[in-house]
Amino acid sequence: MTRIFSGVKPTGHLTLGNYLGAVRRWAQADQHRADALFCVVDLHALTVEHDPARVRRLSRQAATLLLAAGLDPALCTVFVQSHVDEHARLSYVLECTATDGELRRMIQYKEKSMRARAAGESVRLSLLTYPVLMAADILAYGTDEVPVGDDQTQHVELTRDLAVRFNQRYGHTFTVPRATRPEVAARIMDLQDPTSKMGKSHAATAGIVYLLDEPEVVRKKIMRAVADSGVEVEYDRVEKPGVANLLDVLAACEGGDPVELAGAYDSYGALKKDTAEAVVELLRPVRERHAELAADPGHVDQVLREGAERARGLARPTVDAAYRAIGLLPPG
């Protein structure tokens, strides 16, 4: 059976981009067709300036939202990365497989390190090595497919390179995974800055729709989205990135084609209004289910405990094999 792994970082509240680009597909398709593991990758949240209590809180909230979005523990494995030691164990071995040059070339490292420096913060070493830990997350489970948004494809490419290199040098150990991208909504843009990706860790929140935003807040953010010059509703990502983004969101919500949808509108206002309503309706059941689940943290804890146990059992043989292959003496 196909093995799928994917994750979400507790670096902020989950966004519409996370939902449309990743989580919705995990819930509606991936968990039904494969042996899928979905992880709150909390170790990755420590790669940038963080508040310990907030990371803990966001980890629980992310796990709760994954369940609220429809991940079913009877169908898939939901767990927290730091509950399974194998990720960090394997990461070290993969650090001995990767080079610093290939990590410095990662676009996200360049962007996030630049942002940290601009804010007067130092850049954590773990921000550089982050893609190696991500490779460990994926390779520990013999993963075939990694469903991710566009921003993560470069990291999955690196994971493939590391797996191939390790296998060639030390003998076949890892399955070589591939990224799968959603047909729509692979890259939802910030409503206030439609040339940059909507990201949950971004400081400016006016252009970000969070899954737990109240309907009124969702409406306001979408109605105030930056529109482009001109009046004609056209799908042109280069000339009209703001309008194209709204069309992408509406198409992702309603299942249409953004280019065709453009033809149905003769004003930005009407497009915004329909997009706002579509998003409010899309998020309504997730918010409602989240409220129910949040009232029963014991249930979420139990799901995470059982998920971690299963994940550990799956990862350990692969990580042990990697340790042996690279030359480490097994304990007697």
Q: Which stretch binds ligand ATP (CB under 6 A): 79-87, 199-207, 247-255, 296-304?
A: 199-207
Determine if 162 is a binding residue for ligand ATP (CB under 6 A).
no
In terms of residues, how long is the chain?
332
Q: Which of 115, 165, 187, 324 is close enough to bind ligand ATP by CB under 6 A?
A: 187
Give me the least distance between CB of 41 and ligand ATP, in Å please.
Answer: 7
11 binds ligand ATP (CB under 6 A): yes
**Interaction of residue 192 with ligand ATP, rule CB under 6 A:** no
Phi then psi for residue 289, to 5 deg, are: -65, -35
Please answer whether residues 173 and 141 qualify as being in contact, where contact means their C-beta atoms are separated by less than 8 angstroms: no
**How many CB atoms are closer than 10 A to CB 2?**
11
- Known binding residues for L-tryptophan: 137
| C-alpha triplet 225, 230, 232: angle, nearest 5° | 90
Please give the DSSP secondary-structure letter assigned to residue 37: E
Binding region for ligand ATP (CB under 6 A) out of 1-9, 135-143, 161-169, 214-222: 1-9
Catalytic residue ranges: 112, 197, 200
Q: Which of 27, 65, 163, 188 binds ligand ATP (CB under 6 A)?
A: 188
Torsion of CA 162, 168, 172, 175, to 10 degrees: 30
The answer to whether 154 and 108 are in contact (CB under 8 A) is yes
In whole angstroms, how close is the CB of 232 to ligand ATP at the nearest point?
25
Give the range of 74-82, 197-205, 280-288, 294-302 binding ligand ATP by CB under 6 A.
197-205
Q: Does 200 bind ligand ATP (CB under 6 A)?
A: yes
CA separation (Å) from 269 to 61, 258, 274, 276?
34, 16, 9, 11
Q: Does 155 bind ligand ATP (CB under 6 A)?
A: no
Task: Give the shortest CB-223-to-ligand ATP separation in angstroms.
Answer: 20
**Residue whose C-beta lies closest to ligand ATP:** 21
Binding residues for ATP: 9-11, 17-18, 149-151, 188, 197-201
Q: Give Rg (Cα) of the chain.
A: 20
- Strand-pair category, 3-8 with 35-40: parallel
Q: Minimal CA–CA distance to 124: which of 54, 134, 158, 115?
A: 115
Residue 201 in contact with ligand ATP, rule: CB under 6 A: yes
Q: Cβ closer to ligand ATP: 73 or 199? A: 199
Question: Which residue from 24, 34, 33 is spatially nearest to 71, judged by alpha carbons?
Answer: 24
Q: Which of 8, 40, 93, 136 binds ligand ATP (CB under 6 A)?
A: 8
User: Whose Cβ is closer to ligand ATP: residue 91's or residue 173's?
Assistant: 91
CB of 121 to ligand ATP, least distance (A): 15
Does 152 help bind ligand ATP (rule: CB under 6 A)?
yes
Choose the binding region for ligand ATP from 18-26, 215-223, 254-262, 276-284 (rule: CB under 6 A). Answer: 18-26
Classify residue 70 as left (phi > 0), alpha (psi -120 to 50) or beta: left
According to the binding rule CB under 6 A, does residue 151 interact with ligand ATP? yes
Please return the burial class of 265, using the count of CB atoms within 10 Å of its CB with bins 0-12, 13-18 and 19+. buried
Residues with Cβ within 8 Å of 187's Cβ and at least 6 positions away in sequence, in order, are: 17, 21, 149, 150, 151, 197
Q: Judged by CB, which is closer to ligand ATP: 13, or 290?
A: 13
| Interacting residues with ligand ATP (CB under 6 A) | 6, 8-9, 11, 15, 17-18, 21-22, 148-149, 151-152, 185-188, 197-201
